[in-house]
Each structure stands twice: as structure tokens, then as C-alpha cells.
Structure 1
Amino acid sequence: MDTPETQDVTGQLVEHALGHLFSAALRTAARCRVADHLAAGPRTARELAGATGADAGHLRRVLRYLATRGVFREDRAGAFHLTPTGEALRTDVPHSQHAAVLMLTDPTFQRTSAALEETVRKAGPSFERLFGEPFFTYLAGDPELREVFDSGMTSLSARVDAVVAGTYPFPEHGRIVDVGGGRGGLLLAVLRGRPGLSGVLFDQTPAISTHVLSGEEAVRGRWSAESGDFFTEVPEGGDVYVLKHVLHDWPDEGCLRVLRNCRAAMAPGARVVIVESVLPGGNAPHPGKAMDLAMAAVVNGQERTREEFAALLAAAELRLTRVLPTAAFPSVVEAVAA
């Protein structure tokens, strides 16, 4: 006979097992742009259905579920309100996470996550076995997914860029090299506040072809964009080498190649600055612990603890000097030549 305790455990396990539906509901709300339609004030599911072309009854069920997770809030009259979390789903706000949600819930990644057991049993990314080639190779041949990925990463990075630029004491003068910097959001945020600093955006051609640096008058003449492969070499003579969300894409062997290239290119007294999740020990929750599983399934990468970063840096003849937490989910790991 069930006791209240076993009923409670059963309910928890059922909710956890149906967690994939939360991702699906969040994607549905993003695709219907519900948050945009709530920007002017609360609306009922029927009103939202008229604005989005959805079925009112089914839309209400999705929004009611999302309200249990704090994405929206339903009042006694049946109208739905934006919460701070839902506000970030709007497409017209600074640091919108709309594109990030669409990327993270893309069917390509959902299918990969569903095959996590295969990753665990075979110690390799399920993505490669499902799609026949490594993620970044597949991405290069799929322009539609590439746009989803690049837009999502830009969205995910927008607030991180501003927070990191304001948290880490970048020098007022010198040269910063943003290794694997994508569209250059972090480099732009750093250069904006330091008029004596110059920078290099370094990444593969598809990533830097849509960079955001050229439209900013405040940084004119203080940056260059160079294409290349960070596994082969990186631009020489930098005072700060930044690696933001680069190392978590690779196992230790790949990371060491990148870090050793940075170590070889550094000017005397230069620093390496790594922007990544730094996983806490024990049972403490952290967004990086979920992302760690995604990295394992998609690219055979991983998030790391402070101790793992220290060991990785030491193997590349670098010494970890400090870890700075930020108001966003990643931290800043600083290293100098050992």
C-alpha cells in the first residue's frame, strides 16, 4: 500500500522523467513568440492564440505548465503575465535569450540528448554516431543549422560578454587576442571600455564572416579579424589571450594543443583568460553540470572543476593564478606562464 512518502517520491520521479516536455514546452512558447505578445501586458490563452495562430486550449496547457516553472505567471482570471524569466524570451530586449532557447532545444540536439545512454556506454559523442560525422564538420555542411547555432551562441553570450568585460580587470593598454572568438561580442565589449586597448578576433572564416566589430565607431581602428585554426597556431604577441567557451568543446588532448599554441605565442608577462563554467563540488546545483552532459553527447567535450583546470594548464606550462566568479553562469580562469 502506498504511503505519502512513496507517493511523493513517485511524483518527483514522474516529473523528472517527463523533463523533456519542459524543453518542448519552452521551445513551443519561443516559436510562438508568446513573450513578445505579452510585452504590453497580460493576456488570456484565447487572446494569445488569436495572435499566434495556435489552438487556445492546447496553448493554455503549455503556458500553465511553464507557469509552474516560473517562465510565466497565470492569475486568477486566467490571464498570463511575464516573469523576469519570461521577459528574457522576448526578441526585442537587450540580452534576449530567444535565439539561445531555439538553439538549445533544436531537434538536432534533442535527438542527441535522447541518445545519452550510448555516450555513457561507449565513451564517445552520440552526435557523431547519429549523424555520421563530428559536430563541427556537420555544422559546416548545414547552413541552416549553422545559422541557428551562431545566432544561439550570440544570444547566449550577450549577457556573458558584458558581465565578463566588467568583472575581469583587462589592461587599459596592450593587445588582446580573442581565440575562437566567433562573432566578436566579448572583444567588442572589452574594447568599448578601454580606448587604449587593441584586439584581434581569431576564428575560422565562417564564424568571423558575420562579426559585430565593424559597425562600432568607438572601436574603429583598434581591431583586426584573422581567420585560422587554433589547433595549428594563434596570432603572436598578445598581452591577453582569451578563450571563451572554447575548451569545453574538446577533451584534454585538444585543449592542450590550443593552450600550448597560446603559450608559445604569448608576449612576456602575458596572461591566458578562460571563460567557462567552473563546476562546484558535491551536490551543489550549477548550470554547467547540465551543459557538461550536453558537451559529452555532442562534441566529446566537458566542463571542468578548478582542480581540473589547474592540471590542464600545468600540462601546457601555464599556472592558474585565480578564478573569478561572475554574475553570469561562467567564471573567469586566469593563468600565466609557469
Structure 2
Amino acid sequence: MAAALTKGLLKFSKDPPSHLSNEERLAFRDACQKASLSVENPLEATVRFMFGAYESVALCLGANMQLLDLGVKAEGPITAVDLTSASGADVLLTVRVMRMLVAMGIFKEVGHHTYSANPIANVWTVGSPLREAIIHMASQIPPVTFLPEYFEEKGYHNPDNSDNVEKKLLLPENDESSILLVDVGGNVGHDLVNFKTRYPDQRGRLIVEDTPAMVDSATDLPPGIEKVGHDFFKPQPRALQHAKAYYLRNVLHDWPDKNAKIILENVRELMTAESILLVDEYAIPEDNVALYQAELDFTMMGIHTSLDRTPSQFEELLNSAGFKIIGTHRPRDFEAVLLEK
């Protein structure tokens, strides 16, 4: 039976059906992962856990050394010597990184120190947001690796003090002079740019707020999007009062509760009875959290002494700042919460 099942899985892997829905694909992937874990022995599990972060580092090196770009551009076999042409890396280092990328299924080794990119390598070439995500997440690994040492020294208490860290919705009708939407902690305004593109006829002022240095770097905003430099831990400028909506995207998970509450309370002081607060964050399940979700939560703990919150933790935080949840939407597994004072 096991031999037949193995043979069937190998056949499937070589020629997977193209008509699977996303739900069917996810279900099959989950079943395969559970089957793999069920036959894994303790030593194999230990090795998997010990070396889990190495794959992220190898992929980041593959991006930084331009191995992915050169491998994809070659459209066929390319040698380790040729792969060093862009980065100037020595051949031995290139071979060692490529060993990992081959074992991870990103390249095939088709000859001695000669490689061919698999289709998935395209995902992390220059210009892909997933490439930038890999580079960013690799930079988050070092603080997380110090968590055991930190907790041993400081005591096993959940970190809740950020000072200890070392360093889409149609809105109501509006007129042109009043504020439609304030993107609090909005970086360089990319969300408002997308909003304006999607809803070009929506009237009212659009304002992106972030630190002065951040908004000063937003030099290519289209007409109709204003910039306000401000520290959201301080009382909000009165000029931002009475907006139809205030938007916080992936802001609260950067901060423990006491800091997040200050952000929320400062925004609340701007709001009228007609204003709403939009919170766009990823909410992890209350129970049976997937490994990827737990890993993201560990990242927030290691980098920001904060957390990815469950729905009940979000509700508790928001209620503590004087908000009431009036609706929840989950497009693409993200949580957008409408709140009122």
C-alpha cells in the first residue's frame, strides 16, 4: 500500500492537474504536509527545526548575489563561474549557496557545478515584491535567534515594552474641501495611491501621515494626496479632525498593547460621531495556529516586542481605547475592521 501511494504521489508531482481550484490545492497541500509529518522520525524532525532558518538565509544570498537573476536569464544551464560574474563572489561560495538552492528545489544541478533554474526561481528575480520580502525577512532572523538568551536573562515574561527593543471600502459622499481619508502610519502613501486609482471619482481630501522623514521621502505622490509629518504617539494635529475615515494598516502589530492603545486614543480624539476607523491587519486564529502564522508572531516578538493578535485580542485592545467594532471583512484572509467611537 505504501509503495503504491508513494508511486501515485510521485506521478502527481511530475504532472499535477492544472484545473485544481485554490481550495482544492490548499487542501491537498495540507494533506501532504500532514502525511509527511506523520512518517517523520524524531531525528528528522529535530534536523528540520534546527536548520529551518538556513533556507531563508540561502534564498536571501541567492537574491543578493544575483544567482537567481542570472540563472533565470540564462534560460538553460549556467556554470558556477558564470554565476559569479555579477556579484564578484568567489566560486566556492557560489557553489555552497547553490547547493542549498538546489536542495530547496529552486535550481537543478545538471552537471558538475552547472545549474538550471526551475520555474519557481522567477518568483524572486529583480522587481518581484516577493524578492524584497525574502530580503526583509532574512534581516529579521538575528533578533529572533537571541530570544532564548534574552528570556533566560530577563525572565520568561511576555515582552510588552517597546522601549526595551534595541535597535477596500467605498466611503460616504464627501465634498472636495473636507477630509475623506487619513492613512495613519501610511509610509510613503502607496495605499492612498492605490485607493485613488481604484476610486477616482471619490471626492474629498486624502492625507498620508507618517514621521516627517518618511513623508518627506514621498516625492512622487499624485495630485490630490497630501502629506502630514507627525509622531502618532503624540496628540494628533487638529487639522486632521472630522475625517470620514482613519486608516491603520499593519501599524498595531508593530506595538505592544500599551503603545498601540496610545496610537488608537490619539486617533479617537480626531473623530466625530460620523467618523470610522479602519484597521487592516492580519488576525491569527484563537486556536490551532499554523506554523507560518506562529513564525510571523515570533518575528514580531523578536523585532518589536509586540505580537500578531487574535480576534479577541484585537477586540480587547480596541475596546480599551474606546472603540466598538461594527463590522469585519476578510478579503484575501486579511482583516479589515470598522470601528466607531
Matched letter for residue 81 of structure 1: A
Matches within 5 A, 1:215-226: 216=222, 220=223, 222-226=224-228
The Cα offsets for residues 72-113 of structure 1, whole Å up to 9 and x where unpaired, read as 1316555332434x32322234xx23333333223xx44312
Matches within 5 A, 1:72-83: 72-74=106-108, 76=110, 79-83=115-119
Partner SS for 2:116: strand
The Cα offsets for residues 289-330 of structure 1, whole Å up to 9 and x where unpaired, read as 222212212221111011111111111221223433343xx6
Identify the residue that residue 192 of structure 2 maps to in structure 1. 187
Query: Quick check: 1:170–1:190 contact (8 Å CA) kept in 2?
Result: no
Identify the residue that residue 142 of structure 1 maps to in structure 2. none
The Cα offsets for residues 27-48 of structure 1, whole Å up to 9 and x where unpaired, read as 2112112222134323334232
Matched letter for residue 171 of structure 2: P
Query: Quick check: 2:327–2:339 contact (8 Å CA) kept in 1?
Result: no
CA distance in 1, matches of 2:93, 2:259: 46
Structure 1: 5+ residue stretches without partners = 139-167
Q: Answer with 1 or 2: which has the greater Rg.
A: 2
When the two structures are aligned, how many residues end up with a matched partner?
287
CA distance in 1, matches of 2:317, 2:254: 14
Matched letter for residue 77 of structure 2: R
Partner SS for 1:269: coil
CA distance in 2, matches of 1:212, 1:170: 27
Matched letter for residue 73 of structure 1: F
Aligned partner of 1:336 among 329, 336, 339: 339
TM-score (norm 2): 0.74
CA distance 1:13–1:212, change in 2 (3 Å) = farther
Aligned partner of 1:32 among 65, 86, 94: 65
1:255 aligns with 2:290: no
The Cα offsets for residues 221-248 of structure 1, whole Å up to 9 and x where unpaired, read as x221011121223321221211112111
CA distance 1:260–1:127, change in 2 (3 Å) = closer
Identify the residue that residue 41 of structure 2 maps to in structure 1. 8
1:57 CA drift (Å): 4.9
Query: Quick check: 2:161–2:256 contact (8 Å CA) kept in 1?
Result: no
CA distance in 2, matches of 1:248, 1:279: 11
Partner SS for 2:242: coil
Identify the residue that residue 251 of structure 2 maps to in structure 1. 246
Query: Quick check: 2:265–2:321 contact (8 Å CA) kept in 1?
Result: yes
Identify the residue that residue 230 of structure 1 maps to in structure 2. 232
Identity percentage over the alignment? 20
| Stretch moving more, 249-258 or 43-52 | 43-52
1:6 CA drift (Å): 9.9
Identify the residue that residue 66 of structure 1 maps to in structure 2. 101
Matched letter for residue 41 of structure 2: D
CA distance 1:264–1:114, change in 2 (3 Å) = same
CA distance 1:281–1:134, change in 2 (3 Å) = closer
CA distance 1:325–1:69, change in 2 (3 Å) = farther
Matches within 5 A, 1:119-130: 119-121=150-152, 122=154, 123=157
RMSD: 3.0
Structure 2: 5+ residue stretches without partners = 1-37, 175-179
Partner SS for 2:284: coil
1:112 aligns with 2:112: no
1:23 aligns with 2:25: no
